Amino acid sequence: MSLFAKLEPDEDRGAANQPLAERMRPRTLDEFTGQEALLGPGKPLRTQIERDEIGSMILWGPPGCGKTTLARLIARMTHSEFAAFSAVLTGIKEIKEVMAAAEHTRRAGRRTIVFIDEVHRFNKAQQDAFLPHVEAGNIILIGATTENPSFEVIAPLLSRTRVYVLQALSTEQIEALLRRALADPVRGLGNEKIEISDEALQHIAVFSGGDARAAYNTLEAGVRAAQPDTSGQRTITKELLAELLQRKFLLYDKSGEEHYNLISALHKSVRNSDADAALYWLVRMLESGEDPLYVARRLVRMASEDIGLAEPGALAVTIAAMQAAEFVGPPEGNLALAQAAVYLSLAPKSNALYTGYGAVTKDLENTRTEPVPLHLRNAPTGLMKNIGYGKGYQYAHDIEDKVADMECLPESLARKTYYLPTDQGFEARLRQRMEEIRRIKRKRNAKS
């Protein structure tokens, strides 16, 4: 028995007992929905497929956007043998068997496309097993992944493939696919009497989250759950869908790229004083299963990095929110984090502390580490006092205006300014105070 599947033009018409999502797989590029930036007329990937000039590639995109379907279309249109792997089920032994068969096939003048679903789940040894065969031209490798291949695919394999980024389908595109399935009498549901409103179809499309497979599965489940009336018609209502869907399952991976994308969106929304967006991204993370204390820690960071002394209370609010979230626990404790996120968003903004910290760090890297000036050192022993520790120190409380004309930085950095307060919020008062201190020193120096 051959290890390969030869994909003929009518193969995917599918038997009636196949899932709707499988039966409705596109058979041509013209049937393929979405990914116009890659597969639209005249686009590079489409041109390569049509000219039969494809190379190894990684298809990176969310679930249900068409990665597997596209791989099958490429194999069919290029008249290639097709071998599919699942990273969950395949070991080194199976890989070697198929690679040997692919080499034999190449010598016979035929090409093999090896499709790896969930390539990010293959370990380094498994990925290494494909390398020599990709280099030798025995196979064309098409990997599919929902994770950033920069992190999940080994560098040697990544350097020998082209990465194509696929996008989640829009709500409108999902609706169009559902209508096509309802109308298609051969592969779809066109021979059945089904009544479903535009609003219910849109409901399925929205809750699919851009995943065509999920949308098809929901529609099919709705048809099966709907009781036929006396004429055999099945009506899919919003109430029925609500029972089927229960809730929306949000795409999220706490250790993957989506984790970093969402926290970045939250941080930048807070920085831009957009309370609505900040609340949205925070709730989306928490409802997707993110650790509330991770979110809390990031809010604490925002309080110092983006608000600082423009609103000194921001740090106290975020610390309190973190303690409340830990004390109460989810879901009630999540409200404390939401309160902190909105507070930070609406607070006056300043990155003066963050910038000042960075400036000091840069000077520490680029200047020699000077000793603490003698006048700033304590002299707890007579010997230390005799060699100059504490000499010239001025006690500010004994001086008019409580400001001594004494340099507190190392000599090479004297008069250097690191903290530059803005005119936002409380920091405006700090700015005025710093200017007042400078005036006091200038006035005193003018008299001496």
Of 92 and 234, which is predicted with more confidence?
234
Q: How confident is the model at residue 88 (pLDDT cuts 50, 70, 90)?
A: low
* pLDDT at res. 11: 47
Residues 31-75 have pLDDT tens digits of 999 999 999 999 989 999 999 889 999 999 989 999 999 999 998
Rounded CA separation 3/104 (Å): 12
Residue whose structure tokens are 């097709």 = 82
Residues 351-375 have pLDDT tens digits of 999 999 999 999 998 888 889 999 9
List the structure tokens of 91: 């070991």
CA 114 to chain centre: 28
User: Is residue 8 over pLDDT 90?
Assistant: no
Rounded CA separation 238/250 (Å): 20
235, 196 in Cβ contact below 8 A? yes
The sign of the torsion formed by the CA atoms of 16, 18, 24, 27 equals: negative
Mean pLDDT of 426-434: 92
Lowest mean pLDDT segment, chosen from 69-78, 216-225, 250-259: 250-259
Rounded CA separation 400/405 (Å): 11
Q: How confident is the model at residue 256 (pLDDT cuts 50, 70, 90)?
A: low
User: Is residue 295 over pLDDT 80?
Assistant: yes
* pLDDT at res. 10: 46
Q: How confident is the model at residue 188 (pLDDT cuts 50, 70, 90)?
A: very high
User: Is residue 172 over pLDDT 70?
Assistant: yes
* pLDDT at res. 91: 66
* pLDDT at res. 99: 79
Of 447 and 191, which is predicted with more confidence?
191
List the structure tokens of 248: 């929306």
Q: How confident is the model at residue 444 (pLDDT cuts 50, 70, 90)?
A: confident
Q: How confident is the model at residue 248 (pLDDT cuts 50, 70, 90)?
A: low
User: Is residue 403 over pLDDT 80?
Assistant: yes
Residues 377-387 have pLDDT tens digits of 998 998 888 99
List the structure tokens of 311: 């609103």
Mean pLDDT of 286-306: 92
Neighbour count for residue 144 (Cβ, 10 Å): 24
Query: Strands (DSSP E) along 72-223, which ranges?
Result: 81-86, 112-117, 140-145, 162-165, 194-196
Nearest C-alpha neighbor of 101 from the set 11, 3, 229: 3
List the structure tokens of 165: 């980024």
Phi and psi at residue 200, to the nearest 5°: -70, -40
Q: How much of the chain exceeds pLDDT 90, in percent?
A: 53
* pLDDT at res. 252: 59
pLDDT averaged over every residue in the chain: 87
User: Is residue 272 over pLDDT 60?
Assistant: yes
User: Is residue 311 over pLDDT 90?
Assistant: yes
User: Is residue 346 over pLDDT 80?
Assistant: yes
Of 5 and 197, which is predicted with more confidence?
197
User: Is residue 14 over pLDDT 80?
Assistant: no
Residues 115-159 have pLDDT tens digits of 988 888 888 888 888 888 888 888 899 999 988 898 889 999 999
Q: Which domains does the chain have, with CATH numbers?
A: 5-165 (3.40.50.300), 171-245 (1.10.8.60), 257-346 (1.20.272.10), 375-447 (1.10.3710)
Mean pLDDT of 203-232: 90
Q: How confident is the model at residue 15 (pLDDT cuts 50, 70, 90)?
A: low
Rounded CA separation 278/285 (Å): 11
pTM above 0.85, yes or no: no
Q: How much of the chain exceeds pLDDT 70, in percent?
A: 93
Rounded CA separation 243/234 (Å): 16
